[in-house]
Structure 1
C-alpha cells in the first residue's frame, strides 16, 4: 500500500500536478490584491503577464536584481517589454534575460514600477481587478492599478557620486572626445548622461567613460556629465569643461551687403525689411544700426538663415530715425552697409509697445522680481544671494540683506524666485525660492524696516532635488490665495512623471506651507510632466499659464490644469510621444534658437514672454484658451531677457541676463533693469 502511494505521488510530480513553489517574492497589485503572474505558468519566451490569485507558484516568484531586472522561474527569465516599445500602451512578456534596456525596471517610493527605457509604469489594463487581466505599460498616472507591493526588492534612493575629472581631447571643428572618471554607487552605475549647457547630448552605458561628441565650429559650449543608476537616481553634475571648436574652414570673404532696405512707421514703432545677403559659407546675423549706433541683432544658426525683418519699438513720437543694416558670417566677416532709410514715427503711440526706459543696472543677475505696495521693486541677485530694494523713479538702490543658506550649482541654481505676500502691509512676508547645498527649497522671511529679518525665516518646502541646471524657481501667488512654484526635473526626466516627486512640477501650497486639501495627489504637486518651467502668470479668468524650457527642439507655453500631465520626458513640445493619451499639448511652441524663454507676465490678457537664447520678448494675445497674434519685440536690442513682470502703471518690468549666466560667479555681469510702456 505504501509503495502504491509513493508511486502515485511520483506520477503526480512527473505529470506536473504538484506545481513548483516560487523561489522569489510576490508582486501584488494594490487595487486588485492579486499577484503579477506569468500567463498559464508557461516558461517560454514571449509568454504574457497578467494578474491572478496569489498561489505561491513559480510563475509568481519574482527576484529584483541589482541591475534592475525582474527575474522569474528561478531567475532564468526576465520581465521584458515587447519590441522595446517606449510608447503607451506597451505589451509585456517574459523573455530570456539579455541585459537589454527593455528589461530594466525601477521600483519607486510611491509603489509604482517603471520601465527604465520608457519611463512608463506597470499597469493593470483597464484598471481591471479580475483574474487574468493583462498587465502592460502605460503613462504613469498615480492610480491604484499602477501601484504594487513586493519584498522582491526595495526602492533604491541613493544617487551615484559625482563623475570626476571631466576632460576633452581631439577637439576639431565638428567633433571632440569627452572623458571622465567613474562614479560609484551602492548598487551600480547604469548610465552616464552627457550635457552641454543644460541640453542632453547623449547617454552611454555605466561602463563607458569616454565618448565622441558632435560639436559646432566656433560655438562655445560647456560640457559636463551626470551618472545615473538603474533606479533612475541621478548624481550631481561634474564640473564644466568649456570648449570652442575651431571653424571647419578658413573664411575671409564677407557677405554681400543687404539690399533694398525699406521701413515703415506705425505710431512709435518702426518695421524694417531688406533682401538677404549672400555668403560663400553662410550669413549668421544682421546688425541693425539706428543713428550710427547698434539698435539690435537678428541671428540665425548654422542651418537656419537669420530673418530679414526687424521691429524697433518704444521710439519717440514725430521723430525721424535713420537706419542701415550689415551682415555677418560665423567668422565675424562683416559686409558693407546696406543703403540708408529714414523713417519718421507718428504723432503718438498707437502700438502695443510704446517706450522703454532703463531704470537701473546691476553687476549680478536679477532673477526674481516683485513690486511692493508702494510701487517700488524688490529683486533677487542669483549668484550674490542678496535682495535689492529699487526705487524705479529715482534709481536709488538699497541692499536689504542676504538670504541664509543659499548655494550655487556652477550653473543656474542660486537665489531664484520672489513673491510678496498679499497681506504684506501687515505681515511683511517675502516668499523666496533658492538652492541650498543639499536641495532647492521655498522659504519665507519678513522684511521689516527695509531689512531682511533672517530670524523670522521659515522653511515651507524642502527636499526639492537640485542639480547644475533644471532647478526651475519661479514663485507666483494665485487669485485663490495659494502660492504656486515651478520646479525643474533636476536633470532626471523620470522625476517629472513621478507624482510623489516634487521635481518637474508646478507646486501649490498654502501661504503657511501646508498642503491645500484640494490638491490632486495629496501633496504639493499641482501639475506634472515638466522639464524646466520658469514662467508663471495668471490671466483675468484666474487660469495659470506656464513657460517651459525644452531640450534641443522646442520650448513651450502651457495652460495649466489641476492634475495635468504635460508629457516630459516622452514629449518635448509637440515632438516625441506627444500623442499619448493623457498628455496635455502646449498652447504655443518656439524653436529653441528663437526661445529659451524664462519669465512671463500677463497684462490685460496679453501674455509677454522674456527669452534668453532668442534675445527677444514675445507678445501673444490670449483669445479663449489660445494664444494669437504672436509678435516678437526687442529682437537682439537688449540681448538675453530673463524676467518680465507687470508694473503698477500697466506696463512691464524687464531684466537682462547677458553675462555670467551659467557660471555661478557673483558680480561678473552687466545687466539692465527696464521699464516698458505699453499701448492699447
Structure 2
C-alpha cells in the first residue's frame, strides 16, 4: 500500500491498525479498542474534509464527494491487498463509472468485482491514482466546500489531488519477517509460513516472492499461506513486510523448494525427425519435425560433432520451437548435427537423423566468431573498457574489481571496493563506468549495495590499484532489498552519468518522482544534480521495475532494458521525464495503453528473456538474457526495433552483461552459477569476445 502523506500533525495509529486488520476478508483480527471504527478516513489536503459516500447510500452507483469528517461508516475506507478501496466494511468499492479512462471521469461506489476500474495506486505524495486510467482522484474544480463532487482528472500534483489518513508521516519500515519455512510440499502446492514482523504503527501486508517475482500479498494478520508452485522447478521463497504507509522491510532469508512431479513419467519422447541444415556463410540454420510425448516435450538439445551446443525450450503450455541457428562457425568446415527431445522429467529421446552441413568461405552474417578470453569463479557484473583496450570488471559477490588483458588472458585484482554488502540475492558490487576524462583523472564510477542502501561512488585507479582513500560518495540513499537493486551505469554523450535503479521490491517507489528507486537517474560527474533534469532532482525517467541495461545510440538516445515480474520484460527508449508505467503496467499488459505511460519498443516473454545488459554497436542493439539463455540482435530503425534475431540460444547458458569492444565487436559474460545467493567464488563463469559482421 502506498502512503497517504500529511504535512500536518500525525494522527493516532489506532484507527489505522483496525483498517489494516480488516483489509482482507476472512483473516483473524488483532485486538483494538471496541470503539474503533473499521476503516480509515481519507482526508483532502486542500479542504480538510473527508472522502464521503453521498447521503450514506450503500446502493451501487452512489456518488462520492467531500464532507466534514464525522466518523461514520460512509467515510471509513479500507485499502486492500488487491488494490481496492472498500467502504462500509462491505463488498462496496470505489469504482470508475463506465470504466472511463479519459478525464473527466465519474467515481462512485459499486459492488466489488475485481475489475481494473476498481484498482487504485496510492503514492507517497498522497495522490490516489486509478490503475486502469492513470488519472488522479480529484476534488472537482479544486473546491473545498461540503458536498463538492470527487472524480478523476489528469494528475497535476495540486492540493486538491492530495489525500491523507492516520498513516501520515510514517517513514519507519517493519522489521524483517523471521523463520520462513515450508510444509505440505506437493507437486503443485506448498504452505509457506513465517514469524510476524513488528512495526511502529502496524504491519499491513506481507508480500511473498520467489526469486524476485511477486507471487502473492496477504494481510498483516496472516502468517501462513498456500502457494501454487510448478512441479520440478526450484524456487527460492521469501517474504517482505509492508506497513500502511508503504514502507517495506528487508526480505526474509530464502527457503529453496523443488516440488516433486505430479505423476511418475518414465516414457521418453519420440525422436525428432527430418533434421536438415543450411549454411549461409559461417552460420548454420537447423530445422526438424517435432517429437511427441505422452505428457509433453519441454526442450530440444542440439549437438554439433557429438557435443551439446544449444537448447530450445518450451513451457507446459507452449511447445519448444523446431529450429535453431548456430553462429560464429569456422569457414569452409563440415559439421555434423543431431537433436534430442526432453520432457519435464528429463526423459531423453533417441537422437534424430544426422545432418551434415559445410559452411561457406566467409562470415557473411551478423555474428562471425566467439572467443573465450577468460573465466572467473565469481559473477562478472559491470564491465568497462579502458582507453588502452584492456578490461575492468566487477565481481558482484567477491566485491572486488579485476583488470583483464583480453589479448593474453592475464588478470590482476586491482582492489576490493569498501563498504559493499550483498543481499542474499541480486545486490552487491554491480555497475562500473570509466570517466570520459580517465586519461587525466583516473576516476572509476561504481554502483554497489552497502549495509544501508544502494549508492554510486567514484574511486581513482592508480598504478593498477584502487586508491580507496580517494573514494567519494556521489549519491546515497537509493533503497536496497534482496532483489530489484538495478545497478547499471553508463556515461552519455552529454557527459552525464546515467544509472538504473530497481524499485527495492516496492512498486510504489517507481511512481514517486521524489524517490530514487524504480528510476533512470542522471547526475553530473561530480555527483551534483544537472540543472536541466526534469524534476529538479536526480530522476530522469520513472515507472521502472528493475532496469539493468543502459546504452546510447548514434543519435544520443538512451535505450533501457528492464525486468518484468512474471509476464513481460521490456526494452524502452528513454525520454526526459518519461513515465514507463510500473507497477500499473508490465510490458504491454495491465494499463500500459493509458495516456501518460510510455510503451516499450520491444517485449519478451519472461521465459525467453530476463534480460540484463544491453549494448549498441553501429545502431544495432544487443541484449544479453539470463533465463532466456540467449542474446538478441535488434536493428534500430528510426525509433523502433526491427529484424529481431536470436543467437547463442542455450549455447553458453545465462548471459548477464554485453558491452561494446574497441574493435567493433562485443564483450559478453555469463551468470550461470550462484547468481541469487551472494556467496563469493561459487561460480564458473566465462567472458567472451564476439566478432560481428556487417
Scaled by the length of structure 1, the TM-score of the pair is 0.87
Matches of 2:263 and 2:327 in 1, distance apart?
A: 38
Deviation at 1:59, TM superposition (A): 7.4
1:180 aligns with 2:197: no
- Structure 1 residues 128, 27: closer, same or farther in 2, change over 3 A? closer
Of 91, 94, 107, 1:82 maps to: 94
Q: Which residue of 1 aligns with 2:545?
A: 531
Deviation at 1:461, TM superposition (A): 1.0
1:165 aligns with 2:179: yes
Any conservation in 2 of the 1:289–1:324 contact (CA below 8 Å)? Answer: yes
- Structure 1 residues 252, 151: closer, same or farther in 2, change over 3 A? closer
Deviation at 1:27, TM superposition (A): 3.3
- Structure 1 residues 490, 93: closer, same or farther in 2, change over 3 A? same
Deviation at 1:154, TM superposition (A): 2.2
**What are the within-5 Å matches in structure 2 for residues 431-470 of structure 1?**
431-470=445-484
- Structure 1 residues 150, 173: closer, same or farther in 2, change over 3 A? closer
- Structure 1 residues 95, 268: closer, same or farther in 2, change over 3 A? closer
Q: Which residue of 1 aligns with 2:436?
A: 422
- Structure 1 residues 306, 263: closer, same or farther in 2, change over 3 A? same
Please give the secondary structure, in 2, of the residue aligned with 1:83.
strand
Of 346, 351, 354, 2:365 maps to: 351
Question: How far does the alpha carbon of each residue in 1:206-232 deviate from its partner, in whole angstroms, 9 at most, with x for none?
Answer: 111111111111111111111111111
1:135 aligns with 2:153: no
Please give the secondary structure, in 2, of the residue aligned with 1:216.
coil
Deviation at 1:276, TM superposition (A): 0.6
Matches of 1:444 and 1:68 in 2, distance apart?
A: 43
Q: Which residue of 2 aligns with 1:626?
A: 640
1:399 aligns with 2:413: yes
Any conservation in 1 of the 2:101–2:133 contact (CA below 8 Å)? Answer: no
Q: Which residue of 2 aligns with 1:241?
A: 255
Any conservation in 2 of the 1:475–1:483 contact (CA below 8 Å)? Answer: yes
Of 382, 391, 400, 1:368 maps to: 382
Deviation at 1:155, TM superposition (A): 2.6
Question: How far does the alpha carbon of each residue in 1:509-561 deviate from its partner, in whole angstroms, 9 at most, with x for none?
Answer: 11111111111111111111111110100111111111111111111111111
Matches of 1:25 and 1:412 in 2, distance apart?
A: 37
Please give the secondary structure, in 1, of the residue aligned with 2:439.
helix
- Structure 1 residues 264, 107: closer, same or farther in 2, change over 3 A? closer
In our comparison, the structure showing a higher alpha carbon Rg is 1
Of 20, 45, 66, 1:28 maps to: 45
- Structure 1 residues 219, 60: closer, same or farther in 2, change over 3 A? closer
Unaligned 5+ residue runs, structure 1?
A: 1-23, 70-74
Any conservation in 2 of the 1:465–1:490 contact (CA below 8 Å)? Answer: yes
Question: How far does the alpha carbon of each residue in 1:594-619 deviate from its partner, in whole angstroms, 9 at most, with x for none?
Answer: 00000000000000000000000000
Matches of 2:110 and 2:351 in 1, distance apart?
A: 68
Please give the secondary structure, in 2, of the residue aligned with 1:347.
coil
Q: Which residue of 1 aligns with 2:536?
A: 522
Question: How far does the alpha carbon of each residue in 1:167-193 deviate from its partner, in whole angstroms, 9 at most, with x for none?
Answer: 111111111111111111111111111
Matches of 2:312 and 2:387 in 1, distance apart?
A: 38
Matches of 1:171 and 1:119 in 2, distance apart?
A: 40
- Structure 1 residues 563, 354: closer, same or farther in 2, change over 3 A? same
Deviation at 1:266, TM superposition (A): 0.7
Of 335, 345, 352, 1:338 maps to: 352
Unaligned 5+ residue runs, structure 2?
A: 1-40, 81-86
Deviation at 1:233, TM superposition (A): 1.2
Question: How far does the alpha carbon of each residue in 1:23-59 deviate from its partner, in whole angstroms, 9 at most, with x for none?
Answer: x997333xxxx555668985555764557xxxx9557
- Structure 1 residues 441, 193: closer, same or farther in 2, change over 3 A? same
Deviation at 1:203, TM superposition (A): 1.1
Any conservation in 1 of the 2:50–2:69 contact (CA below 8 Å)? Answer: no
Matches of 2:216 and 2:308 in 1, distance apart?
A: 39
Deviation at 1:134, TM superposition (A): 4.3
Deviation at 1:485, TM superposition (A): 0.5
Deviation at 1:300, TM superposition (A): 1.4
Question: How far does the alpha carbon of each residue in 1:271-323 deviate from its partner, in whole angstroms, 9 at most, with x for none?
Answer: 11111111111111111111111111111122221111111111111111111
- Structure 1 residues 142, 238: closer, same or farther in 2, change over 3 A? farther
Q: Which residue of 1 aligns with 2:588?
A: 574
1:486 aligns with 2:496: no
**What are the within-5 Å matches in structure 2 for residues 98-177 of structure 1?**
111-114=125-128, 122-124=136-138, 134-137=149-152, 143-144=157-158, 148=162, 154-177=168-191
RMSD over aligned CA atoms reads 3.2
Matches of 1:183 and 1:561 in 2, distance apart?
A: 40
Matches of 1:357 and 1:186 in 2, distance apart?
A: 56
Matches of 2:53 and 2:348 in 1, distance apart?
A: 74
- Structure 1 residues 137, 467: closer, same or farther in 2, change over 3 A? farther
Question: How far does the alpha carbon of each residue in 1:115-148 deviate from its partner, in whole angstroms, 9 at most, with x for none?
Answer: 6998967543788579787433567x56335654
1:511 aligns with 2:525: yes
Matches of 2:603 and 2:426 in 1, distance apart?
A: 23
Q: Which residue of 2 aligns with 1:3?
A: none
Any conservation in 1 of the 2:53–2:74 contact (CA below 8 Å)? Answer: no
Any conservation in 2 of the 1:112–1:142 contact (CA below 8 Å)? Answer: no
